[in-house]
Amino acid sequence: MQKKIKKLCLIILSVLTLAFTATACDNIKTPSTPSNSENGVVDGSGENNNNGENNNGNNEEKNPEDDPFYIWAGSVMDDAYLLPKNEYLLGYYELSGTVTEIDDANSTNSAISLYFSVYEPQGRQMYCYKLTGNGVQDISVGDFITVYGRIMNYKDKKIEFDEGCELISIGNDGGSGGGSTTPPSLDGDPYANMSKTAFYADYTPATSADDAYYRSLHGFMSGELETPDQAPTISSYQPKKDGKFIRNSVMNLNEDGKTYTVVDAYGKEAFKVYKDGAYITLEEVAAYVYAFGSYPANYTTSKKTKPTSSVWGEYLRLNHNSFSGDTSQYPYEPELPNISGCGGTLEYYEMDIGTTGTDCDPSFPDELYNDGSTITRGAARIVYGKNDLDNDGVYEIGEFHVFYTYNHYNDFQEYLNYEGGWGEMFGNITGGGSISSKYDYSPTDYVEIVLEALPASSIASTSEVFYYDNKKFFTAMSYPIFYVA
């Protein structure tokens, strides 16, 4: 077993003072950046990206006498999320968590691919590509597992244990396979023994970041449950300056960066979203993406996962992936600001918005996104761009845009960072073109906005407020607002 060849035990400590093991091959916490030019990087489809021999970049000498050292599981995940694209953390790691989804499309009889929520304060998702070992075929959604292997950032899409990762145990008994599938009890976890039926019987949204975290550990929602209509709800009042809509530059984050207060057009508190919570409404998902530069807990990069194979069920949302915006290939799409697909430097990503149906493009059935059994993806997407131009780990907010399209990239509206704040629509149908036509197209240009604080804004004083600077958000806190993912 690889664990016996080289195992460095590191204790996964949560801020709740609960400890679990993790291993690494050298006594460092920072991510390494080994070149992958000679090592095939395998993704979830099994594709070898450089057509070379697939050795998973796994050519380090293993020294079984290396001493173990101990670091926080949260630190491992922080380092992983700072990895450059397609590169690995140095060494081997052992992490534990709760299985949230089985990736049937990339599983075989002897190896299973899955997502699990790492047992650390934020409960961040980790993907395991072709996990092997005794008991892998017995793994189910909700099981508590421990996995050993190399950790990489695959194509800026997901943090994963690469192929060759090994199942150490199912349950918390330390054995390989079998045992209890119930994760250790978390101090203060109000949902530890609650059924999904009981949870949703008298549902209310999450009230704190800790509450949202505990909910996500069990596949429970944090936001509103009503599936939105395809059209955004727009505030009756939208402040302008010099004829342009104002995009609110005030970021109302609390001091630990996990709670974001969304205001209305007058600057009054409207609602809150919490880091690592689960959300489905357009307003909440847009605010989450804008605040945290990532996606809610109930999203996956997959486009094919079924609700019945996910802990999120009817609240599962798909397709967090890169978006090129290449208008030479799709001439009906408008060019988004500084987008890489048109020669810019800003990397964009897309994610589904589940609606009650999208009827603007006949190519997509006008049906409910997720009925609990099947997903009909429809044409609604959030598309967002983010950049770290000086590589300091902080996203420049002047280079951060969140857009909504409900006709499959034909037209867009920019999120203005307040409730009901959506910019002027621009794109192909707005310009008089035909839907998704590569022959009859007429996309209008991106509509510029003014980035500044809302007039006479009044933000709740209980939260930390971050103002827009010419370059980026800044604060005296010792960690970045957004982690480069």
Domain ranges of the chain: 2-170, 225-485
**Mean pLDDT computed over 257-279:** 94
Mean pLDDT of 110-131: 86
> What are the C-alpha distances in Å from 25 to residues 9, 74, 102?
9, 18, 28
Which range among 53-57, 329-333, 381-385, 389-393 shows the weakest confidence by mean pLDDT?
A: 53-57
Tell me how far the alpha carbon of residue 28 is from its chain's centroid.
26
Average pLDDT score over residue span 117-133 = 85
Please say if the pLDDT value at position 283 is more than 90.
yes
Instruction: List pLDDT tens digits, range 308-324.
Output: 888 899 999 999 888 98
**Is 360 or 51 the better-scoring residue by pLDDT?**
360
Quick one: average pLDDT of 213-227?
Answer: 92
Q: Helix (H, G, I), strand (E, B), or coil: what is residue 157?
A: coil
Token code pair at residue 41: 């990087």
CATH architecture of 2-170: Beta Barrel (2.40)
């009859």: which residue's tokens?
440
- The pLDDT-based confidence of 457 (bands split at 50, 70, 90) is low
How far apart are the C-alpha atoms of 115 and 119, rounded to whole Å?
A: 13
In the predicted model, is pLDDT for residue 186 greater than 90? no
pLDDT at 478 over 50: no
CA 359 to chain centre: 27
3-state secondary structure of 161: strand
Q: Angle at the Cα of 56 (from 53 to 59), degrees rounded to 5?
A: 90
> Based on C-alpha coordinates, what's the Rg of the chain?
22
pLDDT band (50, 70, 90) for residue 297: confident
Q: Residue 67's pLDDT band (boundaries 50, 70, 90)?
A: very low
pTM here is 0.65
Who has greater pLDDT, 293 or 180?
Answer: 293
Write the DSSP symbol of residue 339.
B
Which token pair is 208?
Answer: 């704190």
User: Lowest-pLDDT range, 56-60, 80-84, 332-336?
Assistant: 56-60
pLDDT at 19 over 50: no
pLDDT at 9 over 80: no
Q: What is the pLDDT of residue 234?
A: 97
Look at residue 128 and tell me whether its pLDDT is greater than 60: yes
Q: Which tops the pLDDT comparison, 78 or 113?
A: 113
Model pLDDT, residue 74: 64
Beta strands in 359-445 (DSSP E): 381-386, 401-405, 411-414, 426-427
Q: Higher model confidence: residue 235 or residue 394? A: 235
pLDDT band at 388 (very low <50, low <70, confident <90, very high): low
- For domain 225-485, give its CATH number from 3.10.450.30, 3.40.50.150, 3.30.40.230, 3.90.1640.30: 3.10.450.30
Specify the amino acid at residue 276: D
Summarize the confidence of residues 257-269 as an average pLDDT: 94
Measure the CA angle with vertex 248, ends 295 and 446; round to 5°. 80
pLDDT at 23: 32
- 16, pLDDT greater than 50: no
Sheet holding 411-414, edge to edge: 321-323, 347-352, 381-386, 401-405, 411-414, 426-427
**Which whole number is the average pLDDT over 289-314?**
86
Across the chain, mean pLDDT equals: 76
* pLDDT number for residue 178: 31
Look up residue 227 and give its two tokens: 């599936």
Share above pLDDT 70 across residues of the chain, in percent, rounded to a whole number: 72
pLDDT, mean of residues 450-468: 58
Distance, in Å, from the CA atom of 164 to the CA atom of 126, rounded to the nearest integer, reads 15
